[in-house]
Structure 1
Amino acid sequence: MLALKRRARKINRMLGELYPYAVAELDFTNAFELLVATVLSAQTTDIRVNAVTPALFARYPDAKALAEADETELQELIRPTGFFRAKAASIKALSTRLVDEYDGEVPDKLEELVTLPGVGRKTANVVLGNAFGIPGITVDTHFGRLSRRFGWTTAKDPVKVEEDVAELFEPKDWTPLSNRVVFHGRRVCHAKNPACGACAVAALCPSYGEGETDPEKAKKLLKYELAPGREELHARMMAAETRAQLRAAGYGLEA
């Protein structure tokens, strides 16, 4: 267990050096916006959600406004995210609950968040960690996959993955770890054909060899700012430019 913990923490440190800019990839200015955006992100990409939320929050800036929204209008605003009828019902219902039970504010306790419509542990931990600074491990499909590849867990159940990984790290590391691992999963350690030969933590990974090991071929598999030809974007991200600044400069942030 001690060796596993040391290796896990070294991987986290190395991912921190690789992605010092790793934060939640959903745009938000407050806990309510992040909560709604995370619910909308189910079965779609953060990029697509980020394209929808500016108009959504301009029209419905808080829980009270969203609770009173016309559902047909709301559906049209979020249609590009998919499953828009169910999502509209969820975010309208959770907004109503926030107004009725929390004076329109988002609670900062996991046990309260998970009672809201459309909110599970993953969404709750995203909000707690990134909006409130309360440590939480976000087990999405990327985090679960990489945790198994790294040997941190063998579990498929997200709650068990969360429990197993929590034993390896200090609580203060849970949120940044979650963001770094998700970044790595989206950019390097893909579900199919991971770019093993271009992976910064390959020497520490017991699953090395599941994907392409030739360095040149592996580089072609990298995505987002690590993709070939996007060196300038990567440099600006390393220099701590925000997504808003990068978009304003004309950079596309898609894969």
Structure 2
Amino acid sequence: MTPRDIEAFFATLQAERPHPQTELEYTSVFELLVAVLLSAQATDVGVNRATRGLFAVANTPEAILALGLEGLQAHIRTIGLYRSKARHLLATCRLLLERHGGAVPRNRDALEALPGVGRKTANVVLNVAFGEPTMAVDTHIFRVANRTGLAPGQTPLQVEQALLRRVPPRYLEDAHHWLILHGRYVCKARAPLCGQCSVAAWCDHARSSRRPAAQRPRRPRSDGR
């Protein structure tokens, strides 16, 4: 995408969703951290279903620790990888109490030092809880950035860095939400809904699909010719 394309792309997404938000349910920064930690390789719907019951009985580091491993696992067993996530969450709660007085730190290094919290999780917390213009590249953002030509990259970090360079500053705080929601509901992995896409005019994939067959780049044959 050209800079002009990118401006039009995000202006259109902004007009559709002026105030985009995460679909994870939370009422505190700690609940947000827990929900994002649990969301790896799981859907937001599934995480919300589990955390509604969990947060009703334990929504602080102290309360989570009081549940113990078996008690915590009982609340999140419907989530993929729940055993390892429960261990990570308990260890994170201990570190929050030992190092941060029970509060979630507003610092990338401190966040990434928590068990089960990687760069993507830290970016979500920094963006959603603290309003920082970070870019949490999940599978949806990775796909949209590459498919549209917005910010191609071979790894999530490359895509993240490209997005931070290419997205106009006024859109950065909300860009991660717009891209996730667009990837989740429109620019789907197997069957993108290009005919229903409001930003197809600036998308490399959609424009390529509309070209006459004779104008499309030829794919090399298996014999190399």
TM category (shorter chain) comes to 0.7 to 0.9
Deviation at 1:171, TM superposition (A): 4.4
Alignment correspondent of 1:44: 42
How far apart, CA to CA, are the structure 2 residues paired with 1:167 and 1:201?
Answer: 20
Work out which of the residue numbers 57, 82, 85 in structure 2 matches 1:84. 82
Work out which of the residue numbers 23, 26, 29 in structure 2 matches 1:28. 26
3-state DSSP of counterpart to 1:139: coil
Deviation at 1:98, TM superposition (A): 0.4
3-state DSSP of counterpart to 1:44: coil
Deviations 1:146-180 (A, max 9, x none): 01112123312111111111011244532311101
**1:1-255 → structure 2 map (5 Å cutoff):** 4-208=2-206
- CA-based RMSD of the aligned residues comes to 1.9
How far apart, CA to CA, are the structure 1 residues paired with 2:36 and 2:187?
Answer: 22
How far apart, CA to CA, are the structure 2 residues paired with 1:104 and 1:172?
Answer: 33
Query: Are the equivalent residues in 2 in contact too, given 1:193–1:210 (CA < 8 A)?
Result: no
Flag the structure with larger Rg. 2
3-state DSSP of counterpart to 1:80: coil
Query: Are the equivalent residues in 1 in contact too, given 2:151–2:166 (CA < 8 A)?
Result: no
Query: Are the equivalent residues in 2 in contact too, given 1:195–1:211 (CA < 8 A)?
Result: no
Deviation at 1:67, TM superposition (A): 2.7
* Residue type at the aligned position of 1:111: D
3-state DSSP of counterpart to 2:59: coil
Q: 1:210 to 1:34 in 2, by over 3 A?
A: farther
Query: Are the equivalent residues in 2 in contact too, given 1:196–1:211 (CA < 8 A)?
Result: no
How far apart, CA to CA, are the structure 1 residues paired with 2:66 and 2:98?
Answer: 12
Q: TM-score, normalised by structure 2?
A: 0.88
Alignment length (residue pairs): 211
Q: TM-score, normalised by structure 1?
A: 0.78
* Residue type at the aligned position of 2:97: V
Deviation at 1:211, TM superposition (A): 7.5
Deviations 1:169-192 (A, max 9, x none): 244532311101111111110011
* Residue type at the aligned position of 1:93: A
- Identity of counterpart residues, as a percentage? 39
Higher relative contact order (CA 8 A, sep 6+): 2
3-state DSSP of counterpart to 1:68: helix
How far apart, CA to CA, are the structure 1 residues paired with 2:172 and 2:116?
Answer: 23
Query: Are the equivalent residues in 1 in contact too, given 2:127–2:134 (CA < 8 A)?
Result: yes
Query: Are the equivalent residues in 2 in contact too, given 1:193–1:211 (CA < 8 A)?
Result: no
Is there any run of 5+ residues in structure 1 with no aligned partner, and where? 213-255
Deviations 1:28-83 (A, max 9, x none): 11111011000111111101111111221122121122133311011010011121
Q: 1:67 to 1:173 in 2, by over 3 A?
A: farther
Q: 1:196 to 1:62 in 2, by over 3 A?
A: same
